[in-house]
Amino acid sequence: MTDPLGQSQVLPYLSGLSELGYTFHLISFEKQDKLEKHRKHIQKICDEAGIVWHPQDYSFGGLKRTIKQVRRMMKVTEYLFERHHFDLVHCRSYISALAGVRIKHKYHIPFLFDMRGFWADERVDGKLWNLESPIYKRIYKYFKHKEKIFLQEADAIVSLTSEGKREMASWNFTDIESKTTVIPCCVDLNLFDKQRVMGDQPGTIRENLGIRDNAKILGYVGSIGTWYMLNEMLDFYSVYRKEKENSVFLFISGEDRSKILEKSRLHGIPDEEIIVHSVTHDQVAAHISIFDLSVFFILPSYSKKASSPTKQGELMAMGIPIVCNSGVGDTAGIIQKYHAGSVIDTFNEESYAKAIKELTAFDRESAIKGASTYFSLKEGVDHYYNIYKKLIG
Same-domain check for residues 159 and 303? no
Per-residue confidence (pLDDT) for residue 354, from 0 to 100: 97
Alpha helices, H only, the chain? 4-9, 11-19, 32-49, 62-84, 93-107, 119-125, 134-153, 162-169, 176-179, 201-209, 230-243, 257-266, 284-288, 310-317, 331-337, 349-358, 364-374, 377-392
Within this chain, do residues 284 and 344 fall inside the same structural domain, yes or no? yes
Judge whether residue 345 has pLDDT over 90.
yes
Range of the domain at 310: 194-374
Nearest partner of 240 among 359, 102, 339, judged by Cα: 359
My answer on whether 215 and 364 are in the same domain is yes
User: Has residue 385 been placed in a domain?
Assistant: yes
Q: Are residues 368 and 229 in the same domain?
A: yes
User: What is the DSSP secondary structure assignment for residue 200, as one 8-state letter?
Assistant: T
Confidence (pTM): 0.92
State the pLDDT at residue 198.
78
Query: Number of structural domains, the chain?
Result: 2
Residue 105 and residue 203 in one domain = no
Same domain? For 105 and 134 the reply is yes
387 and 369, same domain (yes or no): no
Where b means 16+ CB within 10 Å and e means fewer, 65-98 reads: eeeebeeebbeebeebbeeeebebbbbbebbbbb
Per-residue pLDDT tens over the stretch 348-380 = 999 999 999 999 999 999 999 999 999 999 999
Q: Identify whether 22 is part of a domain.
A: no
Check whether residue 316 and residue 370 sit in a common domain. Answer: yes
The rounded mean pLDDT for the chain is: 95
For residue 167, pLDDT beyond 90: yes
Whether residue 189 is predicted with pLDDT greater than 80 in this model: the reply is yes
Residue 363: how many other CB atoms lie within 10 Å: 15
pLDDT tens figures, 111-137 = 999 998 999 999 999 999 999 999 999
In a domain, 47, yes or no: no
Q: What does the pLDDT look like over 28-43, one tens digit per residue?
A: 999 999 999 999 999 9
- Give the model confidence (pLDDT) of 279-335 as tens digits: 988 899 999 999 999 999 999 999 999 999 999 999 999 999 999 999 999 999 999
Find the mean pLDDT for residues 228-238.
Answer: 97
Is residue 54 in a domain? no
* CATH classification at residue 178: 3.40.50.2000
Dihedral sign of CA atoms 56, 61, 63, 64 in order: negative
Nearest to 372 by CA among 294, 287, 333, 314: 314
Amino acid (1-letter code) at residue 182? V
Asked if residue 167 is part of any domain, the answer here is yes
* Cα dihedral across residues 71, 73, 74, 78: positive or negative: positive
What is the arithmetic mean of pLDDT over 223-237? 93
Q: What angle do CA 122, 301, 345 make, to 5 degrees?
A: 150
- Side by side, the strands of the sheet bearing 180-182 are 89-92, 111-114, 156-159, 180-182
Residue 340's Cα: distance from chain center in Å?
Answer: 19
CB 249 within 8 A of CB 269: yes
Same domain, 132 and 198: no
- Residue 20 is assigned to a structural domain of this protein: no
Q: Is residue 267 part of a domain?
A: yes
- Residue 301, in any domain of the structure: yes
Residues 230 and 324 in one domain: yes
Q: How far is CA 108 from the centre of its chain?
A: 31
Answer yes or no: do 121 and 82 share one domain. Answer: yes
* Contact present, 295 and 356 (Cβ < 8 Å): no
Q: In angstroms, rounded to a whole number, what is the distance separating the alpha carbons of residues 67 and 385?
A: 33
Q: What is the mean pLDDT of residues 5-10?
A: 90
* CA angle at 363 for the pair 359 and 365, rounded to the nearest 5°: 150
Mean pLDDT of the 38-52 span = 96
Q: How confident is residue 226, by pLDDT bands cut at 50, 70 and 90?
A: confident
- Residue 238 has what pLDDT? 97
Q: 171 with 235, same domain? A: no
Q: How far apart are the first and last CA of the chain?
A: 27
